[in-house]
Structure 1
């Protein structure tokens, strides 16, 4: 089954309520996965990076402006990385390190955050190099949660997929991206390269 809810409906009261819902998703998921090709995964975003993201969402959709409250909730969600009860496998595209969200200072700070969190026992962070040969076609970003659900964020809507056969394909493609991604020291090298770029931009 696939369900689709337009963002202007889902965010009709602003960003805070939806961020609270996402907190619940992450708290209920002991082992989650996320593939995010073009930006930084929300649970690893700095406050400054998240502020730019949510500001752009509010301005683009014309929804109530509660950006500080939404950002506070996004920061609260990050506690799942530190409570010792969760683990997340996250794959970023190398492009995510270079998509300009807020300018060089915000991006440099974000790269520093990734370098710090790379060592967290709750996180397995991979980065697909821009020149890597892909065994499957690149896909839109998605998250996989316990309870049998994949979640996509499209331009106009949020989409949830719960059909077991479709979920099996999501896990299969995630494994293919994982086989292509760089981890550990190789991932750190890619992040440091991006940090050097933003530090001199």
Structure 2
């Protein structure tokens, strides 16, 4: 494992380039993101807050604008007709305050616009849902036999075949309980109403 401070020693742009490569090479990816919005669906405003927090927390060079631009470039995989992603957001991800009500409202609006993209199967795991696996941190699954976790101090890759199979099993369990289609849109719309009401206070 290489610590984030070392990997981000030149700022956030280079590692965003690396992530773009992962996504371009992955024709069918999966992601479980329990507490924040999946990076490939983040608005520019939301991504700016996230990367600014990374820079401040780790004390790495501040190139937030360049890093955000690369994150926005990554999102082209949603529109090129060559990729498909199965994504499960925890309902908490819709309420974790990233940047305040205006940013969160814009993010909910984007989720509602994009939820029917042909390249995307977007589910929301209700907060009170009973899931057939123990609670776990978020993870991403890429083509080529790789699961990636992002921890506080570093990122971890898993490539062992048996461990990959367990992650597939875990994702299936989460997916079987998540809400999709109109039910997912309803949960996102509820969050949008929440952030709209907060904005008016």
TM-score range, shorter chain: over 0.9
Aligned partner of 1:190 among 187, 190, 195: 187
What is the TM-score when the length of structure 1 is the normalising length? 0.98
Superposed displacement of residue 127, structure 1:
0.5
Task: Describe how 1:5-44 pairs up with structure 2 within 5 A.
Answer: 5-44=2-41
Separation of aligned partners in 2, 1:133 and 1:144: 23
- Partner of 2:60, secondary structure, is coil
- CA distance in structure 2 between the aligned counterparts of 1:5 and 1:177, rounded to whole angstroms: 29
Counterpart in the other structure of 1:136? 133
Q: Deviations over 1:126-153 (max 9, x none)?
A: 0000010111111100000001100000
In the other structure, the counterpart of 2:155 is 158
| Separation of aligned partners in 1, 2:31 and 2:8 | 22
SS of residue paired to 2:85: strand
| Match for residue 87 of structure 1 among 73, 84, 87 | 84
Tell me, in whole angstroms, the C-alpha distance in 1 between the residues paired with 2:196 and 2:179. 23
Task: Give the match for residue 175 of structure 2.
Answer: 178
- Please give the TM-score of this superposition, normalised by the length of structure 2: 0.98
* CA distance, structure 2, for counterparts of residue 69 and residue 139 of structure 1: 32
2:54 paired residue among 52, 57, 74 = 57
Q: Does 1:67 align with 2:44?
A: no
4+ residue runs over 4 A deviation? none
Gaps spanning 5+ residues in structure 2: where? Answer: none
* Deviation of 1:9 (Å): 1.0
The CA RMSD measured in Å over matched residues stands at: 0.4
Structure 1 CA distance for aligned equivalents of residues 155 and 11 of structure 2: 15
Give the count of matched residue pairs: 198
State the match for 2:197 in structure 1.
200
Offset of 1:120 from its aligned partner? Answer: 0.2
Q: Per-residue CA shift, 1:5-54, capped at 9, x if unaligned? A: 21011111110000000000000000000000000000000000000000
